[in-house]
Amino acid sequence: MYGTRGIQPRPGQAFEEVTAPPSTYEDLARLIDYPLLEPELTDDRVVEGLNLARRYAVASATVRPCDIDLAARTLQGSAVRTAAVCSFPHGTQNTATKLYEARDLLRRGAREIEAVIGIPKLLSREFQYVQMELQQLSEICHKEGALLKVIFENVYLTDELKIIACRCCERAEADFVATSTGFASAGYTLEDLRLMRKYSPEEMAVKASGQIRSVGQALEAVAAGASRLGTAAAAEILDEWKARMTPASPPEPAAR
């Protein structure tokens, strides 16, 4: 069933992730990362999404690099963390480009960086390359007190490569490993979540992304080891939770 693992902050950071069954609205809301990553989003729609994230008090709102200034301004003063993707969606940029992008996003106000692992290098079994790249990204993020989430895109990987990717992230002291971008042919699976949780250290959290659309799916992902849930259905999930938690009204007395 559910774990009760507390994820402690690394030096210089202030955060806590707990994998436990949510018992309140706030518990569930702080598990959710709200993505605003579709290429067709206009500025107005991004602001609308950011305001939704504030209204529902989710953990973070994740934006495209071109929207980081807008997100930092809109979320200023709220508890919602400003997150941005890096090397998205395939991790194909060279290391220098990834590092420049991460530094620029942090300078502009990102508090969480979601970087796609170098998928071609991982598939080519160039593990030292992958390791060193993640190490540098981790150092950049932690120097600024920000979190690094590493996205695997599991649909392209064997179980062996998923395990190796977890080990690389552990050595790099990444804060999260994430299942997917939401832009590939498949998102998270419960089996992948269990695998990633098994082969990740206690201090590294796991994020599930893709096709989480109900409270039931959210609870299943948490039970499998997820500490964050990337879902565009944040409003629907949290509204469903409110409806579940609202006591039913007693029936009206029958008319005499």
| pLDDT computed for residue 187 by the predictor | 85
Residue 226 lies in a domain: yes
| pLDDT computed for residue 108 by the predictor | 98
Q: Chain centroid to CA 204: how far? A: 12
Strands (E), the chain: 5-7, 17-19, 32-36, 60-63, 81-86, 112-116, 147-151, 176-178, 205-209, 228-230
User: pTM for the whole thing?
Assistant: 0.88
| Per-residue tens of pLDDT for the chain, all 256 residues | 223 233 344 444 444 454 567 899 999 999 999 999 999 999 999 999 999 999 999 999 999 999 999 999 999 999 999 999 999 999 999 999 999 999 999 999 999 999 999 999 999 999 999 999 999 999 999 999 999 999 999 999 999 999 999 999 999 999 999 999 989 988 899 999 999 999 999 999 999 998 899 999 999 999 999 999 999 999 999 999 999 887 655 556 655 5
| pLDDT computed for residue 90 by the predictor | 95
Label the pairing between strands 228-230 and 176-178. Answer: unpaired
| pLDDT computed for residue 216 by the predictor | 96
Residue 205 lies in a domain: yes
| pLDDT computed for residue 247 by the predictor | 67
Residue 15 lies in a domain: no
Distance CA 166, CA 130 (A): 11
| pLDDT computed for residue 6 by the predictor | 35
| pLDDT computed for residue 21 by the predictor | 77
| CATH code, domain carrying 66 | 3.20.20.70
Residue 101 lies in a domain: yes
| pLDDT computed for residue 252 by the predictor | 62
Question: For residues 118 and 165, is the Cβ–Cβ distance under 8 A?
Answer: no
| pLDDT computed for residue 1 by the predictor | 26
Residue 200 lies in a domain: yes
Residue 119 lies in a domain: yes
Distance CA 213, CA 35 (A): 13
| pLDDT computed for residue 185 by the predictor | 87
Residue 182's domain comprises: 25-242
Residue 8 lies in a domain: no
Residue 253 lies in a domain: no
Total domains, the chain? 1
